[in-house]
Structure 1
């Protein structure tokens, strides 16, 4: 059984300032760097090694991964965060209310040059399936983003199951899945700060 550890990047300046951060980027904070290093120490402590590692092409994801491990990794655009169009870099107070039927922002950002929730979900699912289909990929670490990870999670779990099993989805949260026959099964959430 193959394993995927899908991780949200560490805390950034825009996270701290409550700015909308999708296609735009900002650097990790000092706390974000320390938190990523703590994840690396946790993986060493439990002797968890990865055959392959991947990160979104965005700086915050790459920097998170580089603070966790020194192993080589590949950058993939398919793991990027949701594009929020003209809302990029603006206050999070401008975010719309969730579409109650889809439990996300739905199509709201499309009219402003961004992506829909389902476009993000499809991109993430295609990218992660392609990664896990590779024959020598048995245990993979992939660093992505909050919105993108959440939409991927909604592909494989109902919203009610997410509410039950993923109670705290903060920076550096890790979602463990097993993969077989082109499908992902959610196993658990790992929050290193809580261990």
Structure 2
């Protein structure tokens, strides 16, 4: 059995300003940097070792990973954040409210040069399965990615109702999953 730790990046300037941040990027805030350092301490205190480390290709994820560990890592395009098209960098108040009720924006962004929920989710699941297939049994893998990546991935395992009750996708959140026989199982939220 293989273990996957899925982690969200630290707080960014756009998170703080409540601006839409998918394909675009913004730097980590002082709080984001401190939260990543706290996550590093958490991993060390709990003697959590990672045999493999990966991050999204976006700076906020790779910067977080570099604060969490000194280990070498690989970037994965397949776990970059949802592309919100022309809504990138705009106020989050302009986005449909379905995300908070259904856990998805559906195909809303397609007509605005963005990505559909279905294609986004399929990309994330495919990338995580391909990545974990290359890992040996008994090894631990850390992937630093994004809130919507984590949410849409977890929706492939649970209902939105269960996710809303049991899981938080706050900055620097960490979820533990196992991977065996090409199947993921959620274990717990560790941070």
Which position in structure 2 is the counterpart of 1:44?
44
**What is the SS of the residue equivalent to 1:175?**
strand
Shift of 1:175: 1.2
Which position in structure 2 is the counterpart of 1:10?
10
**TM-score (norm: length of structure 1):** 0.93
Unaligned runs of 5+ in 2: none
Which position in structure 2 is the counterpart of 1:151?
152
Which position in structure 2 is the counterpart of 1:21?
21
1:112 equivalent in alignment to 2:112: yes
Is contact 1:7–1:143 with CA below 8 Å preserved after alignment?
A: yes
Distance in 2 (alpha carbons) for counterparts of 1:101 and 1:41: 34
**TM-score (norm: length of structure 2):** 0.95
Is contact 1:52–1:140 with CA below 8 Å preserved after alignment?
A: yes
After superposition, the Cα gap between the structure-2 partners of 1:76 and 1:17, relative to the gap in structure 1 and judged at 3 Å, is: same
Which position in structure 2 is the counterpart of 1:182?
182
Q: Deviations over 1:35-54 (max 9, x none)?
A: 00110111111110000000
Question: Over aligned residue pairs, what C-alpha RMSD do you find?
Answer: 1.5
- State how 1:75-154 maps to structure 2 within 5 Å: 75-98=75-98, 102-136=102-136, 138-154=139-155
Distance in 2 (alpha carbons) for counterparts of 1:26 and 1:34: 16
Shift of 1:190: 2.2
Q: Deviations over 1:2-46 (max 9, x none)?
A: 110001110000000000000000000011001001101111111
Shift of 1:164: 2.6
**What is the SS of the residue equivalent to 1:156?**
coil
